[in-house]
């Protein structure tokens, strides 16, 4: 992409309405634009990151054996009356009528609808286990939408649902989700700690939230600092292996880590004092096992081995896809701007032409641009007629992990500069060496 043709409405000043750094930087970097309270347009740069996050979520769900599907955003109230949640959900649910006067709503989550699909088609234990998920827009009429996409009213969420014959099978599904979520966040450059949580309006006994530690997080968290030493390290997992998933769950959830809703001061005191931490966190996901709550209410039954009809055991699992864009920025930025982890960066690298219009510099940049694209990467080439300082400031603000800087002086000696956004370290090298180095980072 050439910056001269890109829609990147960068703001020089800090927008007054933004209270936290991710919101500020997303507005300044031209990633989003608010259209109503808690409702945003995703501009080209922001959409790229959102789509990269979405892609990682899809890939990791597929690896765990879960199937993607898509349900509508607008649902009829009927199913929600059947489950009893139409009245329970309260003011967060956006309700309206269609032209025939029928009660409709914008989906805040989809347990009812998926259970309806299930009960219409599945009758036997032979069709289980089954886990399906979607990545779809949700609407919750939050009382205080704030912090940009972190607490929106309209937001993008992965929601998955498992159907199992027994509690034991459903707990394996729970463990499998925990493991796949750990992988998912790690690929985004995030450490998200599973913490024992409260189930809220979804209901159920077993639930963990995944929290990214950040001063601006809305949840108060209590944990043993030993949990921050745990790392998944891209391990290859057999998701069908019940023992393997169980042991990873134990590895990541045995040490004390809880949100304020489930915090137990007496238990916390058993953690050695120097490891006892009280901090704040951003909830980027949650997994639930809720047993037969919805299957009983909606009659989602299957025949078991003995030919008896039994309600299925279920769980649901969510990842805040749009919230993650903000959470990643909260976890990775400096005073100049965003620092994208390589796994989610909107462009793989930037090319800065220090002297646009200089025949040699232009030719060198074009050549870099084409070679990187031919290698399957997406560079963002700043080919505008602007001074170098402004170009650097833009690149730092939008946070691409690598910057290739090309100028007539370097080219005389056959070199360009390669700089890492995170380390701030820059090195001179030949264009070929720089290209190889960038390609190697993304292989």
Nearer to Mg ion, 75 or 207 (CB): 207
Residue 325 phi, psi dihedral angles, 5° rounding: -60, -45
Would you say 253 or 405 has its CB closer to ligand ATP? 253
Q: Does residue 281 belong to the site contacting ligand ATP (CB under 6 A)?
A: no
- CB of 210 or CB of 239, closer to Mg ion: 210
Terminal Cα distance for the chain, rounded:
20
Residue closer to Mg ion (CB basis): 53 or 397? 53
Distance (Å, rounded) from C-alpha 273 to C-alpha 287? 30
* Binding string, residues 205-244; x marks residues near ligand ATP by CB under 6 A: ----------------------------------------
Least gap, CB of 228 to ligand ATP (angstroms): 20
Quick one: what does residue 346 bind among Mg ion, ligand ATP, none, with the CB cut-off 5 to 8 Å set by partner type?
none
The pair of structure tokens assigned to 35 is 């259209």
**Residue 284 binding: pick among ligand ATP, Mg ion, none (C-beta 5-8 Å cut-off by kind):** ligand ATP
Q: Give which of ligand ATP, Mg ion, none residue 285 binds (C-beta under 5 to 8 Å, depending on kind).
A: ligand ATP
Nearer to Mg ion, 53 or 411 (CB): 53
Query: Number of residues in contact with Mg ion, rule: CB under 5 A?
Result: 1
DSSP assignment of 196-247 equals E---GGG--SEEEEEEEE-TT-SEEEEEEGGGGG---TT----TT-HHHHHH
Decide: is 347 part of the binding site for ligand ATP (CB under 6 A): no
What pairs with residue 382 in β-bridges?
352
Helix (H) or strand (E) holding 404: strand 402-406
Q: How far, in Å, CA of 287 to CA of 300, rounded? A: 21
By beta-carbon proximity to ligand ATP, the closer residue of 131 and 405 is 131
391 binds, among ligand ATP, Mg ion, none (CB under 5 to 8 A by kind): none
Partner in contact with 28, chosen from ligand ATP, Mg ion, none, beta carbon below 5 to 8 Å by kind: none
Q: Among 79, 81, 63, which residue's Cα sits nearest to residue 71? A: 79
- Of 324, 326, 348, 350, nearest to 338 by C-alpha is 326
Interaction between residue 323 and ligand ATP (CB under 6 A): yes
Work out whether 283 is an interface residue with ligand ATP (CB under 6 A).
yes
Considering only the stretches 82-90, 318-326, 336-344, 363-371, report the one whose residues sit in contact with ligand ATP under the rule CB under 6 A: 318-326
* Nearest CA-CA partner of 162 in 127, 136, 134, 130: 130
The partner in contact with residue 220, picked from ligand ATP, Mg ion, none with C-beta cut-offs of 5 to 8 angstroms by kind, is: none
| Nearest CA among 125, 114, 119 for reference residue 66 | 114
Q: How far is the CB of 291 from ligand ATP (least distance, A)?
A: 18
Segment contacting ligand ATP (CB under 6 A): 54-62, 294-302, 320-328, 369-377?
320-328
DSSP track, 49-91:
HHHHHHHHHHHHHHHTTPEE----SEEEHHHHHHHTHHHHSGG
Nearest residue to Mg ion by CB is 286
Q: Which of 162, 207, 286, 371 binds Mg ion (CB under 5 A)?
A: 286
| Site mask for ligand ATP (CB under 6 A), range 156-175, x = bound | -x------------------
User: Hunting for tokens 């391990």 — which residue is that?
Assistant: 235
φ, ψ (nearest 5 deg) of residue 421: -65, -40
- Token pair, residue 97, equals 């009528």
Residues 6+ apart with CB under 8 A from 126: none
Other C-beta atoms lying within 10 Å of the C-beta of residue 27: 22
Measured from the CB of residue 320, what is the shortest distance to ligand ATP in angstroms? 2
CB of residue 151 to ligand ATP, shortest distance in Å:
5
Does 140 help bind ligand ATP (rule: CB under 6 A)?
A: yes
Tell me how far apart the alpha carbons of residues 401 and 93 are, in angstroms, rounded to a whole number: 40
**Partner whose footprint covers residue 341, from Mg ion, ligand ATP, none (CB < 5 to 8 Å by kind):** none
The residue range among 52-60, 162-170, 259-267, 317-325 that interacts with ligand ATP, by the rule CB under 6 A, is 317-325
Distance CA 246, CA 178 (A): 10
Q: Is residue 290 a contact point for ligand ATP (CB under 6 A)?
A: no
Q: Is 285 in the site for ligand ATP (CB under 6 A)?
A: yes
Helix residue ranges, H only, 127-166: none
Residues that bind ligand ATP (CB under 6 A): 109, 140, 142, 151-152, 155, 157, 200, 283-286, 318, 320, 322-323
Residues that bind Mg ion (CB under 5 A): 286
């Amino acid at each position: 992409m050439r910056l001269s043709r890109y829609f990147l409405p960068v703001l020089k000043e800090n927008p007054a309405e933004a209270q936290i750094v991710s919101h500020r930087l997303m507005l300044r970097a031209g990633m989003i634009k608010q259209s109503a309270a808690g409702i945003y347009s995703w501009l080209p740069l922001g959409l790229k990151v959102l789509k990269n996050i979405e892609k990682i979520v899809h890939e990791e769900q597929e690896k765990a054996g879960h199937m993607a599907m898509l349900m509508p955003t607008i649902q009829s109230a009927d199913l929600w009356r059947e489950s009893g949640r139409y009245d329970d959900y309260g003011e967060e649910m956006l309700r309206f009528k269609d032209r025939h006067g029928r009660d409709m709503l914008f989906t805040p989550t989809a347990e009812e609808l998926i259970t309806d699909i299930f009960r219409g088609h599945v009758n036997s234990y032979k069709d289980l286990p089954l886990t399906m998920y979607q990545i779809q827009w949700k609407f919750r009429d939050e009382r205080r939408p704030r912090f940009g996409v972190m607490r929106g009213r309209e937001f993008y969420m992965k929601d998955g649902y498992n159907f199992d014959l027994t509690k034991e099978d459903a707990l394996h599904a729970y463990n499998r989700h925990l493991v796949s979520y750990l992988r998912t966040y790690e690929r985004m450059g995030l450490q998200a700690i599973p913490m024992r949580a409260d189930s809220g309006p979804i209901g159920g006994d077993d639930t963990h939230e995944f929290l990214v530690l950040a001063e601006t997080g809305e949840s108060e968290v209590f944990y043993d600092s030993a949990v921050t030493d745990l790392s998944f390290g891209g391990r290859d997992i057999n998701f069908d292996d019940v023992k393997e998933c169980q042991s990873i769950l134990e590895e990541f959830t045995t040490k004390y880590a809880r949100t304020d809703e489930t915090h137990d001061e007496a238990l916390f005191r058993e953690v050695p004092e120097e490891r006892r931490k009280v901090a704040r966190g951003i909830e980027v996901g949650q997994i639930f096992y809720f047993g037969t709550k919805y299957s009983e209410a909606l009659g989602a039954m299957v025949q078991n081995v003995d030919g008896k009809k039994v309600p299925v055991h279920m769980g649901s699992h969510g990842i805040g896809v749009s919230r993650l864009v903000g959470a990643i920025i909260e976890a990775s930025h400096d005073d100049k701007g965003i620092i994208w982890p390589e796994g989610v960066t909107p462009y793989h690298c930037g090319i800065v032409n220090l002297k646009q219009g200089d025949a040699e510099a232009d030719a060198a940049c074009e050549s870099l641009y084409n070679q990187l694209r031919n290698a399957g990467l997406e560079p963002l080439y700043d080919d505008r007629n602007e001074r170098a300082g402004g170009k650097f400031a833009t690149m730092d603000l939008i946070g691409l992990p690598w910057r290739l800087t090309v100028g007539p002086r370097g080219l005389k000696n056959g070199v360009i500069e390669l700089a890492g956004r995170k380390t701030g370290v820059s090195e001179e090298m030949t264009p070929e060496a720089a290209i190889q180095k960038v390609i190697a980072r993304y292989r």
